[in-house]
């Protein structure tokens, strides 16, 4: 079992897996993961048997979620246990939490008791929070140590793979007192006590239940390499590092784009199509109900349409144009809400800004449309009604696109979730109503 091979302290179970020594050589684990993902799962298991255990662990860490779950489910549980034991406990917990309860319990039986306990503790954190994404392999130093004592302590830990660039300074009860870079320690006067490094330090940290997107925003906003995570008594639990944050930020932005149109926020091209089907069908059904509202508005004006069928041809233009205007406002607004906090005054200014853009674009497009309809139909009334409805609906689209994410958020919902569906219902229904209503009043 890699470096713990001599240890026989497992929870009663012995591994039977023979892991070869290093074989990947010049292939980066991220590239090896790509290669594995292309293979059927049975072949994946075979290829993995040719890897050393460390290579297997690194490669699995880099795989896409669905491919990884499939692979871990097909591996013998003792092999999975071996692989998870060489990972950091938080990475192991991240993978275990994806698996089905049966598979997870089965694998945990083969993991050394002490490791299994650490992992089980980590599994208690919500994966969407700081506790769920933090790394627990950190360097913790007592504030009473001197710089040279700290250095010898660090040297003795150095064989443990990843020594970070920061150390976390604590008091005798593990309360976080400050952060110090290894460089600072190493370049300082040997006898200086760590406590003295911390004067006037602006310490930024979060408790474990803070949302991971908030963590990502803090790290991004304050250009941190790592953010400490503490419990409610301010005892250090771990850190979230900047490379975790890259994934969170990327996922968050993609999630917004996808949930805006009612796709699953965690869908990728690698998700099984049945998973995507289950995620999307509720929103498509909701969209059906919503577009039925727009259809009902048109239904009210069927008499008008029978008399003047060209209205049916022109009405989608009104709805479509207002929908596009609204989506532009929507996208900018969702981005802002994802980016950072948003005070009341700024919210108001942002809505006003979209209204101005809506009025300006609405006026221009209405004028172009007026000219086009006049040229094609020589019908002044129709051109006037069309351009008035278009302008009004585009302004409504701008207001709605700017407001819907704010309303969703104030209701405690994800500002992006299905926002496109709500927007389209509004711009379609109102567009048909404005256009057919005005036509009924002035043209028939």
Terminal-to-terminal C-alpha distance of the chain: 85
The rounded distance, in Å, linking the Cα atoms of 329 and 310 is 30
CA dist 105 and 93 (Å) reads 12
CA dist 61 and 71 (Å) reads: 12
Return the number of the residue (108 or 386) whose C-beta is nearest its own copies.
386
State the minimum distance, in angstroms, from the CB of residue 237 to its own copies.
Answer: 22
Q: Which is nearer to its own copies, 53 or 373 (CB)?
A: 373
Q: In the complex with its own copies, which residue's Cβ is closer, 44 or 104?
A: 44
Contact by Cβ (8 Å): 7, 40: no
For residue 172, the tally of other CB atoms under 10 A from its CB is: 8
Q: Nearest distance from residue 442's CB to its own copies, in Å?
A: 19
By C-alpha distance, which of 201, 226, 57 is closest to 130?
226
Tokens at residue 387, please?
């351009």
Q: How far is the CB of 36 from its own copies (least distance, A)?
A: 13
**Closest to 145 in 3D by CA, of 176, 181, 170:** 170
**How deeply is 8 buried, as exposed, middle or buried, from its count of CB atoms within 10 A (0-12, 13-18, 19+)?**
exposed
Q: Could you give the CA distance from residue 64 to residue 59 in angstroms, rounded to a whole number?
A: 10
Give the nearest distance from C-beta 224 to its own copies in angstroms: 8
Distance from C-alpha of 388 to C-alpha of 370, rounded to nearest angstrom: 9
Q: Which residues pair with 241 in a beta bridge?
A: 226
Give 14 or 223: the residue with its C-beta nearer to its own copies. 223
Smallest distance, Å, CB 168 to its own copies? 16
Q: Which is nearer to its own copies, 13 or 204 (CB)?
A: 204
Residue owning tokens 């969703």: 408
235 versus 250: smaller Cβ distance to its own copies: 250
User: Running DSSP on this structure, what letter comes out for residue 238?
Assistant: E
Q: How far is the CB of 97 from its own copies (least distance, A)?
A: 21
Q: How far is the CB of 91 from its own copies (least distance, A)?
A: 12
Cα–Cα–Cα angle for 160, 163, 165, rounded to 5 degrees:
175
Our CB check for its own copies shows the closer of 273 and 378 to be 273
Q: Which residues contact 400 (CB under 8 A, 6 or more apart)?
A: 326, 329, 422, 423, 426, 427
Nearest approach in angstroms of CB 113 to its own copies is 31
Q: Which lies closer to its own copies via its Cβ, residue 13 or residue 203?
A: 203
């Amino acid at each position: 079992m890699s470096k713990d091979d001599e240890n026989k302290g497992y929870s009663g179970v012995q591994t039977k897996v023979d892991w070869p020594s290093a074989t990947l050589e010049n292939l980066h684990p991220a590239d090896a993961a790509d290669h594995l993902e292309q293979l059927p799962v049975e072949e994946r298991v075979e290829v993995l048997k040719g890897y050393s255990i460390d290579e297997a662990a690194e490669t699995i860490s880099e795989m896409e979620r669905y491919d990884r779950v499939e692979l871990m489910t097909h591996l013998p549980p003792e092999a999975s246990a071996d692989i998870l034991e060489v990972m950091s406990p938080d990475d192991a917990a991240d993978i275990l939490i994806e698996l089905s309860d049966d598979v997870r319990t089965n694998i945990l039986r083969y993991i050394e008791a002490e490791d299994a306990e650490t992992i089980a503790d980590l599994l208690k954190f919500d994966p969407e929070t700081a506790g769920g994404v933090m790394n627990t392999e950190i360097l913790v130093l007592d504030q009473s140590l001197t710089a040279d004592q700290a250095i010898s302590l660090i040297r003795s830990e150095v064989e443990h793979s990843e020594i970070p660039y920061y150390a976390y300074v604590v008091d005798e009860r593990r309360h976080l007192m400050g952060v110090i870079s290894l460089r600072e320690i190493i370049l300082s006067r040997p006898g200086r006590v760590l406590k003295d490094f911390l004067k006037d330090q602006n310490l930024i940290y979060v408790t474990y239940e803070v949302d991971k997107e908030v963590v990502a925003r803090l790290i991004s906003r304050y250009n941190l390499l790592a953010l400490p995570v503490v419990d409610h008594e301010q005892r250090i639990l771990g850190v979230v590092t900047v490379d975790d944050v890259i994934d969170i930020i990327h996922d968050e932005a993609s999630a917004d784009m996808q949930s805006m149109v009612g796709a699953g926020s965690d869908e990728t091209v690698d998700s099984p199509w049945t998973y995507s089907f289950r995620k999307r069908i509720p929103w498509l059904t909701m969209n059906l109900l919503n577009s039925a509202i727009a259809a009902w508005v048109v239904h009210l004006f069927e008499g008008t349409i029978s008399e003047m069928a060209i209205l049916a041809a022109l009405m989608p233009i009104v709805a479509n144009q207002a929908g596009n205007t609204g989506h532009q406002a929507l996208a900018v607004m969702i981005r802002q809400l994802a980016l950072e906090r948003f005070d009341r005054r700024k919210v108001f200014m942002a809505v006003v800004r979209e209204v101005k853009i809506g009025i300006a674009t609405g006026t221009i497009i209405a004028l172009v449309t007026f000219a086009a309809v006049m040229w094609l139909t020589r019908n002044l009334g129709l051109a006037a009604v069309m351009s008035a409805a278009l302008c009004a609906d585009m302004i409504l689209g701008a207001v709605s696109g700017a407001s819907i994410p704010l309303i969703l958020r104030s209701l405690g919902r994800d500002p992006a979730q299905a926002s496109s569906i709500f927007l389209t219902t509004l711009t379609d229904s109102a567009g048909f109503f404005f256009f057919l209503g005005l036509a009924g009043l002035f043209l028939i």
